[in-house]
A and B are shown apart, each in its own frame.
Chain A
Amino acid sequence: MIEIRIHGRGGQGGVTLAKIIATTRYLHGFSVQAFGLYAAERSGAPLQAFCRFDEQPITNRNLIYEPDHVIVLDATLVGPAITGGLKPNGWILINDPRLPYEFAEQFPGFRVATVDATSIARSNELGTRSVPIVNTALAGAVARVLEFEPESVREALEHLGFRGKNFDAASEAYERVIIVDDVDRHGAKVTHPVTPTHRVPGIVDGGGAERPVIRTGQWATEQPHRREWTPPCNHVCPAGNDVQGFLQALARKETDLALETLLRTSPFPSVCGRVCPAPCMDSCNRLSLDEAVNVRDLERYAGDHGRVDVKPLAKREQRIAIIGSGPAGLAASYHLARLGYRVTVIEGGSSLGGLLRTGIPPYRLPREVLDREIDRILDLGVEVRLDTRIERRDLYRLTLEFDAVLVATGLQELRSLDLGGGGDGESIMQGIDFLDRANREVVRVDGEDVVVVGGGNTAFDAARSALRLGARSVRIVYRRTREEMPAIAEEIEEAIEEGIDCEYLTLPIRIEPGNGDARLTMICRRMQLGEPDDSGRRRPVEIEGSDFPIECDRVLLALGQSADLSVFPEGSEVRDGADVLGLLETPVYAIGDLASNDGTVAGAIGSGRRAALSIHYVFAGEELPGLVPTADEVIRAGSLKMHLFESAPSHHGMSRPAEERRLDYGEVHAGIADPSEAERCLSCGVCNECDRCVTYCPEGVLKRVGHEFIFDYEYCKGCGVCAAECPRNVVFMTRL
């Protein structure tokens, strides 16, 4: 009788290998047995399978204690147990790419053969890449080592109904198995370890006795670990906000903590919660499930309802001048003042806020909201000089007076169109000037037909303001389509609801004196979209002979703005967040739209913050935490377990009806009534302590202590359930 013991791990097909070997012998007239040594353990645990064959009928019902040969399915199992009871001169066949000589020394008195069954199985696509099924390849190797008939494995596989590349794997292994047959056949004496069997301490009497320890972690082929990723909202936020962080705080109804989280990066949550184009929502992974989380309204909620006392963190001597009090200048002031610097804001106008006050109408951003957030900055001890315009020579003087100067004057140069002499300065006006006058309540357009040229937020703000100041009709003229309009989608929607007409693919050519009642006639030309330009938007192309007139009383131009660099010395290079001059001892930085032309409040806030942190690094040598995470750290929807999340519609918040709001300056949008929308945040790539991993760990080897998750690797078998159950890809498996 020949007896074979197979050492493998659960899931490797060891019992099937025993059956294949038994079948090869059974088909040649032997009496055979094939069986496993079963236990309650799962995939990966060391298991044994057995096979015996004899020319006489087998009556032996015992396990195999003294095998003639052993087969090792996994080289990580090579150890003293392999040779336990193995008869002298027995074969040890190991699935491993190394040569048998590498093992022969460990096994004196035995014959060793190796075969790389794993790569044979992989190349024949048997099993999966991580769990290749090696048994048919090993059967081929066994046939060669034990000198079975060359065809016997093929016969057995056919008999057992195997298909496909199993046959190729078996014959390949038959050829490739490497045999060492030169070990001294009468070499080292083999002794069989005798394991005494004695009573184990029981449930009742064994309380104090030492129990056998089975460190099941030794069985693991994989281990779980944790890492966090950057959610896409945090990655794209121009202000650098921890969007995921404040949403999760709101989801736990911790409104103050949500606001505090936002105030770490931005002094304007209530402002951004009303006017931000919210790129976070465009990148939200929830879009692949239903709708983006309504981050904008949630930021507004946190800003309006949270209560946080902001104080300077230190007291420092350096004095810093900030020219311009728009969002970039104020954000820089806020951060520098919090860090303890002595900050002076110098503003050319008579009030603080820059474009936030002059450019954004109160029906979108109520003045009391803006004032409240500016007051929070001033309360940090920021000094203010109003009505102080800074020219080039003043800048030089400031560099002597202060230790650093930040220039945040925004975009003062307004783009214009030469439309001929058909109108005057009153009937043809820059939209931004119109807005400033409208916001100061020094202009009316009662009964007028107003045309606004442009497709950005300024165009829409001017158009909607004109409507509220008595215009009979308001029409927006834009040379591309609604798709390409840079204005916030919601504002376009609201403007159309309020009755504003949009003439897309229309280019103003010239303005002539009006016919009849109208003061002006604007001659326009139809456009069509051509190839994409540098910005990725399709370039509008004029259609010859398509000119047509629009009769109107007033034209507002909202074509965009550009930076006025005249305050700097000739030839200065202006880059966002970098020292402009470089030659003076005092650093001078350009920030906000002046430097970046980003055009959003959030972008200006981010620029101001980065400059503040750079200045702090110059003065204090302290590098504050990273600003924008790199893209390869960002987690995308494909890496989340989307099936574990339930679809739930977004709370969009309430707006006043168009017919009511178009007549006054009251706030259009009412926001959301409670923060439950935040519960829709998936917390992408960031553990929010949902505890699914702990709950589902079938072995109880994962526990949470406070905010820390602890894997007990001594006992973790690496089953991977925790990783499979982690909805946000924080828990992952690594191969050992």
Chain B
Amino acid sequence: MTLELVTGNHAAGYALSVAGEANRGARGAACGIYPITPQTEIVEFVARFPFSKGRVIAVESEHSAMGVSIGASMAGARAFTASSSNGLAYMTENIMVAGFYRLPIVLTAVNRTLGPPWNIWADQGDTLYLRDFPWIQLYCETNQEVLDSTLLAFRLAEDRRILLPVMVIMDAFILSHTQMETELPEQDLVDRYLPPLLLPHELNLNRPTTVGGLTWPRETMSQRIEVDEAMERVPAAYEEHRATFRQIFGRDPGGALSPFETEDAETVLVTSGTIASTAREVVRERRAAGEKLGMVKMKMFRPFPGDRLLDACPHARKFGVLDRDYAAGSGGVWWHDLRAALQGPRDGAMVQNYLTGVCGGDVTPAMLNEVIDDLLARRSAGKPVWKGIDK
């Protein structure tokens, strides 16, 4: 394991490549690639990687890039790709196909504001809008977490109890283009963590099957229920693969969520991605001053680990949800899911939404202090509050 100074993109490209290489004993690696800022460096890295077995195929659009990965995955390859923003929007039809085909594809998504107007900076809207597809979504906070989560994603996706594709997600530029020290594991360690892929429904000439044909409502609904059951199993399976990761790499890739000082906290900030780093520092400072604050960093968005969140915050009655996204007409997306999770188990808890760093703005400690001040002073929740701009 070597400690290198690399960007988030480099970390993702490295992890995708060594994971693909680890399948050389089976049907190899496959990646359809198409560039878009800010993820282009990822597919550039993958395209340069000397795979022992497999193909990297440059295509004419994101839609086809996922198409290549779908085809290769159905043929048993360890398949992956990367995209961002409007590229993901264009890829969307095939993103959905990959999920309902139950293909263990890993997609690195670099969060970038959906245009127009044209904007290249971080905003989670481009992946959160894919929330209703059968994909697991993992949001990362550091370059190291990007690398670790990518490796874990393959193991989770290929778990026969799961067989769902995984999106590993990072903030544009704040991670994708920022160099920080990152542990890069050697191939033999990765080989131990990621055994050769044996896809149960791999296409096989000796066992011809029809895929994707017309089915009646009842059969289709059964398939949806299978997806739902697989989603139910994800949090537990995740913990198993996290534990194995720790054993092999000697490092914790992080849980589905990471609570900080929440055991006694009455007021808790809930956030994700790199905003979590800033929120943790602000909470640390204010707790030192005696305030009963906590914060939870959410890594897993799909499936949404709502019950685990409540378990982690037994005394919280006030939640401030920091969304780096905006769902037109209904505030922040994380806010919706948290409110749904609290409904019933903790009726009466107050949940206030703050739209922070939407469209790529910098979320500073000063801004989060304002958020906390506002939250502490509130008697009841109101409409989502836009931060970073005088409305």
Chain A stretch 315-373: residues in CB contact (< 8 A) with chain B:
none
In Å, the complex CA distance between A59 and B277 comes to: 6
Given known pairs A34-B178, A38-B173, the reply for A60 and B281 (CB within 8 Å) is yes
Chain A stretch 523-545: residues in CB contact (< 8 A) with chain B:
none
Chain A CB within 8 A of B294 CB: no
Chain A stretch 23-65: residues in CB contact (< 8 A) with chain B:
23, 26, 31-36, 38-40, 58-63, 65
Given known pairs A32-B179, A35-B178, A199-B390, the reply for A22 and B277 (CB within 8 Å) is no
Interface string of B149-166 (1 = CB under 8 A from A): 000000000000000000
Interface string of B197-233 (1 = CB under 8 A from A): 0000000000000000000000000000000000000
Q: A65-B364, A199-B389 are in contact. List 17 more A-B contacts (CB 8 A).
A: A19-B179, A23-B5, A26-B5, A32-B5, A32-B181, A33-B180, A34-B178, A35-B179, A38-B38, A40-B120, A58-B180, A60-B278, A60-B281, A61-B174, A63-B362, A197-B388, A199-B390
In Å, the complex CA distance between A31 and B178 comes to: 13
In Å, the complex CA distance between A32 and B6 comes to: 11
Chain A stretch 43-100: residues in CB contact (< 8 A) with chain B:
58-63, 65
- When distances are taken between beta carbons in the complex, the residues of chain A under 8 Å from B275 are 61
CB distance from B296 to the nearest CB of A (A): 16
Interface string of A197-215 (1 = CB under 8 A from B): 1110001000000000000
In Å, the complex CA distance between A33 and B389 comes to: 27
The answer to whether A199 and B391 touch across the interface, beta carbons within 8 angstroms, is yes
Interchain Cβ contacts under 8 Å between A and B, 13 examples: A19-B179, A33-B178, A33-B179, A35-B173, A35-B179, A38-B173, A40-B120, A58-B180, A59-B278, A60-B277, A61-B274, A61-B275, A61-B277
The answer to whether B278 and A61 touch across the interface, beta carbons within 8 angstroms, is yes
Chain A CB within 8 A of B177 CB: yes
In Å, the complex CA distance between A23 and B181 comes to: 9
Given known pairs A60-B277, A61-B274, A196-B390, the reply for A34 and B179 (CB within 8 Å) is yes
CB distance from B101 to the nearest CB of A (A): 36
In Å, the complex CA distance between A185 and B317 comes to: 51
The answer to whether B390 and A197 touch across the interface, beta carbons within 8 angstroms, is yes
- When distances are taken between beta carbons in the complex, the residues of chain B under 8 Å from A39 are 120
Interface residue count on the A side (C-beta < 8 Å): 27
In Å, the complex CA distance between A203 and B5 comes to: 42
- When distances are taken between beta carbons in the complex, the residues of chain A under 8 Å from B280 are 59
CB distance from B240 to the nearest CB of A (A): 28
Chain B stretch 326-366: residues in CB contact (< 8 A) with chain A:
362-365
Q: Which of A40, A59, A62 contacts B363 (CB 8 A)?
A: A62
- When distances are taken between beta carbons in the complex, the residues of chain A under 8 Å from B364 are 62, 65
- When distances are taken between beta carbons in the complex, the residues of chain A under 8 Å from B389 are 197-199
In Å, the complex CA distance between A59 and B180 comes to: 11
Q: Which of B173, B179, B274, B275 has the most CB of A within 10 A?
A: B179
Give me the interface of B with A, judged by CB distance under 8 Å.
5, 38, 117-118, 120, 173-174, 177-181, 274-275, 277-278, 280-281, 362-365, 388-391
- When distances are taken between beta carbons in the complex, the residues of chain A under 8 Å from B38 are 38
- When distances are taken between beta carbons in the complex, the residues of chain B under 8 Å from A62 are 278, 362-365
In Å, the complex CA distance between A719 and B278 comes to: 39
- When distances are taken between beta carbons in the complex, the residues of chain A under 8 Å from B177 are 15, 35-36, 38
In Å, the complex CA distance between A198 and B120 comes to: 20
In Å, the complex CA distance between A15 and B173 comes to: 12
The answer to whether B5 and A34 touch across the interface, beta carbons within 8 angstroms, is yes
CB distance from A29 to the nearest CB of B (A): 10
In Å, the complex CA distance between A32 and B38 comes to: 21
The answer to whether A59 and B181 touch across the interface, beta carbons within 8 angstroms, is no
Q: Which of A19, A33, A61, A199 has the most CB of B within 10 A?
A: A61
- When distances are taken between beta carbons in the complex, the residues of chain A under 8 Å from B174 are 35, 61
Name the 8 nearest CB pairs between A and B, nearest first: A35-B178, A61-B274, A34-B179, A198-B390, A59-B277, A61-B277, A63-B362, A26-B5
The answer to whether A26 and B181 touch across the interface, beta carbons within 8 angstroms, is yes
In Å, the complex CA distance between A36 and B174 comes to: 9
- When distances are taken between beta carbons in the complex, the residues of chain A under 8 Å from B179 are 18-19, 22, 32-35
- When distances are taken between beta carbons in the complex, the residues of chain A under 8 Å from B278 are 59-62
In Å, the complex CA distance between A199 and B359 comes to: 13
In Å, the complex CA distance between A197 and B117 comes to: 19
Q: Which residue of B lies closest to A203 (CB)?
A: B117
CB distance from B83 to the nearest CB of A (A): 18
In Å, the complex CA distance between A23 and B177 comes to: 15
CB distance from B99 to the nearest CB of A (A): 31
- When distances are taken between beta carbons in the complex, the residues of chain B under 8 Å from A23 are 5
In Å, the complex CA distance between A58 and B391 comes to: 33
In Å, the complex CA distance between A199 and B390 comes to: 6
CB distance from B82 to the nearest CB of A (A): 18
- When distances are taken between beta carbons in the complex, the residues of chain A under 8 Å from B173 are 35-36, 38
The answer to whether A19 and B281 touch across the interface, beta carbons within 8 angstroms, is no
Given known pairs A35-B177, A59-B281, the reply for A22 and B390 (CB within 8 Å) is no
In Å, the complex CA distance between A31 and B390 comes to: 35
Q: Which of A32, A65, A196, A198 contacts B180 (CB 8 A)?
A: A32
Q: Which of A38, A59, A60, A65 contacts B120 (CB 8 A)?
A: A38
- When distances are taken between beta carbons in the complex, the residues of chain B under 8 Å from A198 are 389-390
In Å, the complex CA distance between A31 and B274 comes to: 17
Interface string of A474-516 (1 = CB under 8 A from B): 0000000000000000000000000000000000000000000
Q: Which residue of B lies closest to A61 (CB)?
A: B274
Interface string of A7-28 (1 = CB under 8 A from B): 0000000010011001100100
Interface string of A244-267 (1 = CB under 8 A from B): 000000000000000000000000
- When distances are taken between beta carbons in the complex, the residues of chain B under 8 Å from A203 are 117
In Å, the complex CA distance between A15 and B41 comes to: 15
Q: Which of B174, B178, B281, B391 has the most CB of A within 10 A?
A: B178
In Å, the complex CA distance between A18 and B180 comes to: 12
In Å, the complex CA distance between A59 and B178 comes to: 13
Q: Which residue of A lies closest to B117 (CB)?
A: A203
CB distance from A564 to the nearest CB of B (A): 80
- When distances are taken between beta carbons in the complex, the residues of chain B under 8 Å from A15 are 177
Given known pairs A31-B181, A38-B177, A61-B174, the reply for A22 and B5 (CB within 8 Å) is yes
